Chains A and B, each alone.
Chain A
Amino acid sequence: MKKDHEELYAQYEQEFPLALLQEIQSKVPADISQEKLQRVLAGVHDVYVKSKVSPGECVGLVSAESIGEPGTQMTLNTFHFAGVSEMNVTTGLPRIIEIFDARKDIKTPMMEIYFKEPHNKKVEFVRSFAAGLKETVFSDIVEEYTLNIFDQVLRVSFNASLLEDFDLEVKEIVKQIKLKSKGFELSHTDKDISFLHKGKPEELKSLYLLKEKLRNVMIKGLKGIRQVLPVKRGDEFVVLTSGTNLKDVLQMKEVDGARTLSNDIHEIHAVLGIEGARQAIINEVYKVVEAQGLNIDIRHIMLVADIMCASGNVKGITRYGVVSEKASVLARASFETPIKHIINAALEGEVDYLTSVVENVMINQPVPLGTGLPGLVTKMK
Chain B
Amino acid sequence: MVDVYLNSKFVGTVDSALSFVDNVKDVRRKGDFSESVNVYYDEKADEVHVLSDEGRAQRPLIVIRDGKMLLTEKHLRQLTDGEITWFDLVRQGIIEYLDTAEEENALVAFSEEELTSDHTHMEITPGSICGLATSLVPFGNYNQSSRLIIGSKNQKQSLGFYAANYHLRMDMDANILHYPQMPIVKTKIHDVTGYEDHPSGQNMIVAIMCYDGYNMEDGVILNQSSVQRGLARSTYFRPVSAEELRYSGGLIDQVGVPDKEVKGYRTEQEYRFLEADGIVYPEAKVGEGDVVIGRTSPPRFLSSVEEYNLSATTRRESSLALRHGEQGVADFVVITENEEGNKLVQVRLREERIPEIGDKFTSRHGQKGVTGILIPQEDLPFSASGVAPDLIFTPHGISSRMTISHLLELVGGKVGALGGRFVDGTLFEAEKEVDLRRELLELGFREDGLEVFYDGRTGKKMLSLIYVGNMYYLRLRHMVANKIQSRARGPIQLLTRQPTEGKAKEGGLRLGEMEKDTFIAHGASLLLNERFGSDKVVVPICLKSGLLGYYDARKRAPVSPIYGDDTEISYVEISYGFKLLLDELLSLGVYPKLLLEDKF
Contact = CB atoms under 8 A, between A and B. Distances in A.
Given A343-B588, A362-B578, A57 B532 contact: no
B532 A370 contact: no
B529 A372 contact: yes
A371 B518 CA distance: 14
B524 A370 contact: yes
A327 interface: no
Interface in B554-600: 573-575, 577-578, 581, 585, 588-591, 595, 600
B520 A58 contact: yes
A62 interface: yes
B520 to A, nearest CB: 5
Contact of A376 (B585, B589, B590, B600): B600
B574 A363 contact: yes
B526 A342 contact: no
A76 interface: no
Given A58-B523, A339-B588, A376-B600, A366 B529 contact: yes
Contacts of B588: 339, 342-343, 346
Contact of B525 (A64, A366, A376): A366
Contact of A367 (B528, B536, B574, B600): B528
Contact of B523 (A65, A365, A370, A376): A370
B517 A342 contact: no
A276 interface: no
Contacts of A372: 523, 525-526, 529
A343 B585 CA distance: 9
B500 to A, nearest CB: 19
B578 A367 contact: no
A21 to B, nearest CB: 32
A372 B524 CA distance: 8
A343 B520 CA distance: 29
Contact of A364 (B523, B574, B585): B574
Contacts of B525: 366-373
B523 A371 contact: yes
Contacts of A369: 520, 523, 525
Among A65, A342, A363, max chain B CB count under 10 A is at A363
Contact of B521 (A65, A342, A343): A65
Nearest to B533: A364
Contacts of A343: 588, 590
Nearest to A330: B581
Contacts of B457: none
A183 interface: no
Interface string A308-321: 00000000000000
B533 A57 contact: no
Contacts of B529: 364-367, 372
A308 B523 CA distance: 24
Interface in B320-362: none
A366 B521 CA distance: 14
Interface in A43-69: 56-58, 61-62, 64-65
Nearest to B529: A366
A291 interface: no
Given A369-B523, A370-B524, A364 B578 contact: yes
A351 interface: yes
Contacts of A370: 520, 522-525
A58 B533 contact: no
A61 B581 contact: no
A364 B589 CA distance: 24
A61 B578 contact: no
A372 B520 CA distance: 10
Nearest to B537: A364
B516 interface: yes
A94 to B, nearest CB: 23
Contact of B536 (A61, A364, A366): A364
Interface string A338-371: 0100110010000100000100011111111111
B466 to A, nearest CB: 35
A367 B519 CA distance: 10
A82 B21 CA distance: 45
B520 A346 contact: no
A119 to B, nearest CB: 51
Contacts of B577: 362, 364
Contacts of A62: 521
A361 B521 contact: no
A183 B157 CA distance: 84
Contacts of B595: 351
A375 B575 CA distance: 22
B477 to A, nearest CB: 31
A367 B520 contact: yes
A367 B581 CA distance: 19
A357 B521 CA distance: 11
A57 B523 contact: yes
Contacts of B573: 364
Contacts of B574: 363-365
Contact of A363 (B520, B524, B578, B591): B578
B13 to A, nearest CB: 46
Query: Quick one: which of B517, B525, B532, B536 has the most chain A CB within 10 A?
Result: B525
A337 to B, nearest CB: 14
Contacts of A371: 523-527
A346 B522 CA distance: 34
Residue of A56, A62, A373 most packed against chain B (CB within 10 A): A62
Contacts of B526: 366, 371-372
B521 A61 contact: yes
A342 B582 CA distance: 11
Interface string B502-544: 0000000000000011101111111111001101100000000
Interface string A177-209: 000000000000000000000000000000000
A357 B520 contact: yes
A362 B524 contact: no
Interface in A213-245: none
A364 B532 contact: yes
A65 B577 CA distance: 26
30 contacts: A56-B523, A58-B521, A61-B520, A61-B521, A64-B517, A65-B517, A65-B518, A342-B585, A342-B590, A346-B588, A346-B591, A361-B516, A361-B528, A362-B575, A363-B574, A363-B575, A364-B536, A364-B574, A365-B574, A366-B529, A367-B525, A368-B525, A370-B524, A371-B523, A371-B526, A371-B527, A372-B523, A372-B529, A373-B523, A373-B525
**Which A-B residue pairs are the 3 nearest by beta carbons?**
A370-B523, A372-B525, A364-B575
Interface of A: 56-58, 61-62, 64-65, 339, 342-343, 346, 351, 357, 361-373, 375-376
Given A56-B523, A346-B585, A364-B577, 9 more contacts: A57-B523, A62-B521, A343-B588, A364-B575, A366-B528, A370-B520, A370-B522, A370-B524, A371-B523
